[in-house]
Amino acid sequence: MPNLSKMISKENIIKRFISYVTIDTESDPSSNTTPSTKKQWDLANKLTEELKTIGLQDVSIDENAYIMATLPSNVDHDVPTIGFISHFDTSPDFTGANVKPQIVENYDGHDIVLNETENIVLSPDYFEDLLLYKGQTLITTDGTTLLGADDKAGICEIVSAMEYLVNHPEIKHGKIRVGFTPDEEIGRGAHKFDVEKFDADWAYTMDGSQIGELEYENFNAAGAVVKIKGKIVHPGYAKGKMINSMYIAQEFINSLPRLETPEHTEGYQGFFHLHNMKGNVEETVLEYIIRDHDRGHFEARKEVMQKLTNELNSQYERQVVTTEIKDQYFNMKEKVEPVMHIVDIAEKAMRQLGIQPLIKAIRGGTDGSQLSYMGLPCPNIFAGGHNFHGRYEYVPVESMIKATEVICKIAELTALEE
């Protein structure tokens, strides 16, 4: 393979990435449509035309804005069909409107003033990872929006890699499928993904963070809604009659392990997370998410919540608490481990490109998890960005170039290893 670092244009990567992030594609969890916001169509339609322009075939966009395209095989023997997938929506956690990217050349390791007027500073004193990129080119926000590297960096890398492979047929590869999805940030990115139409043996989501990340484990996840019923009576005559649902809610909260919450856990440690509550004397509603990498521990956490519900009902001698738990997604490790060669290929690609693989579990979810359970094993690879979903988001351009190289190298290795 040619020396990609010298062949892939840094200027083109920057130009392409900025053309994506300056289009607002924020998704909306309160919407029932797909995509959840009409503005996602703006980038979706642009990408569809761009994939045609760079020379891909079978380019399609369906009624829900799911985009697919093909780079045909250029070898005369059977090679597995692989895919690369990214999402084009951005998180509703922070505004993605009017993104004004700033380019920091030859980063010197000091504070970066994102917005002088509002005194917003991106500092390595707080974000230590910045120091990994001294001497590199960073793209940041202006402090008033997110950047959108999650996951427009991934899209930029996939499009750039496909363009490179089209223009360099000397690099041998099998059939490659490309997929871009809406609404990943609100947990729906894979919901209407047509795995049968995509027709790949396996795929990779380009949706990780730091250079070198390679992930094939994620949380098992469930959501729980706990409803506590009280009884309102005039407080002056309430003795022996009033049941204050908020006090029972307090009992429920305090009965769960206090140190098994997000702010006290890391690595493979699971948690209960109370993320929303509202209530009055008559009714209090608690909304939890339950997370654990280990399937057995995950099931045990759900049982803990149900047991606590039963105990409180027994204590009050009536059904004051109801708990509804719904599974959300599962650890893709169960589906990827039987085909670990797909992780091995990605790891080998990184090592051959001088990248140290960082193989770790995701403390969250990914489209790849849902896709793996839909029949498309799908590990996750770095896209290069940091500090997603907020004003301090940034991406090193050199990391995007490396991710582009990884895609090309995976394509080459897949053809060579068969």
Domain co-membership, 46 together with 156: yes
Query: Global pTM?
Result: 0.89
Last residue of a domain, one of 275, 299, 329: 329
Q: Is the pLDDT of residue 105 over 90?
A: yes
Q: How far apart are CA 225 and CA 284, in angstroms?
A: 10
Given 280, 307, 329, the domain boundary residue is 329
Both 60 and 82 in a single domain? Answer: yes
The answer for 46, left when phi > 0, alpha when psi is -120 to 50, beta otherwise, is alpha
Query: pLDDT (tens digit, 9 = 90+) per residue, 259-277?
Result: 999 999 999 999 999 999 9
The domain spanning residue 236 has which CATH number? 3.30.70.360
**Rounded to a whole number, what is the largest CA-CA distance in the chain?**
87
Angle value at C-alpha 55, between 49 and 58, nearest 5 degrees: 70
Dihedral of CA 239/245/250/252: which sign? positive
State whether 113 and 10 are in the same domain. yes
Residue 268 gets the label, from left (phi > 0), alpha (psi -120 to 50) or beta, of alpha
Which secondary structure element, helix H or strand E, spans residue 220, and what is its range? strand 220-229
pLDDT digits (tens, 9 = 90+) for 265-320: 999 999 999 999 999 999 999 999 999 999 999 999 999 999 999 999 999 988 99
Last residue of a domain, one of 312, 329, 346: 329
Cα–Cα distance, 211 to 192 (Å, whole number): 30
Mean pLDDT estimate for the chain: 95
CATH classification at residue 400: 3.40.630.10
Separation CA 352–CA 121 (nearest Å): 37
DSSP conformation class of 274 = E
Please check the confidence at residue 5 and state whether its pLDDT lies above 90. no
Residue 177 has phi, psi (to 5 degrees) of -110, 140
In this prediction, residues 212-228 reach a mean pLDDT of 96
- Tell me if 54 sits within 8 A of 168, measured CB to CB: no
* One domain for residues 79 and 179: yes
Q: Of 196, 201, 164, whose CA–CA distance to 80 is shortest?
A: 201
d(CA 303, CA 223): 13
Q: Residue 4's pLDDT is what? A: 54
My answer on whether 348 and 392 are in the same domain is yes
pLDDT of residue 318: 87
Percent of the chain with pLDDT over 70: 98
Those residues whose C-beta lies under 8 Å from the C-beta of residue 15, and which sit 6 or more positions away, are: none
Residue of 168, 174, 202 whose CA lies nearest to 76: 174
Report pLDDT digits (tens) over 174-184.
Answer: 999 999 999 99
* Contact yes or no for 324/357 (Cβ under 8 A): no
Indicate if 86 and 187 belong to the same structural domain.
Answer: yes
**Measuring CA to CA, which residue among 84, 176, 93, 69 is closest to residue 367?**
84
Contacts of residue 168, defined as CB under 8 A and 6 or more positions apart, other chains included, come to 2, 7
Residue 258 sits in which domain range? Answer: 220-329
255 and 131 share a domain? no
> Are 409 and 348 within one domain?
yes
Number of structural domains found in the chain: 2
Cite the active site residues: 89, 184
Model pLDDT, residue 8: 82
Q: Do 156 and 238 share a domain, yes or no?
A: no
Parallel, antiparallel, or unpaired for β 202-208 and 82-87? parallel
Asked if residue 169 and residue 63 are part of one domain, the reply reads yes
Q: Which long-range contacts (CB under 8 A, 24 or more apart) does 245-251 make?
A: 245/279, 245/280, 245/281, 245/282, 245/283, 245/284, 245/320, 246/279, 246/280, 246/281, 246/284, 248/284, 248/312, 248/316, 248/320, 248/321, 249/277, 249/279, 249/284, 249/286, 251/312
- Say if residue 51 is in the same domain as residue 199: yes
Question: Could you tell me if 50 and 194 lie in one domain?
Answer: yes
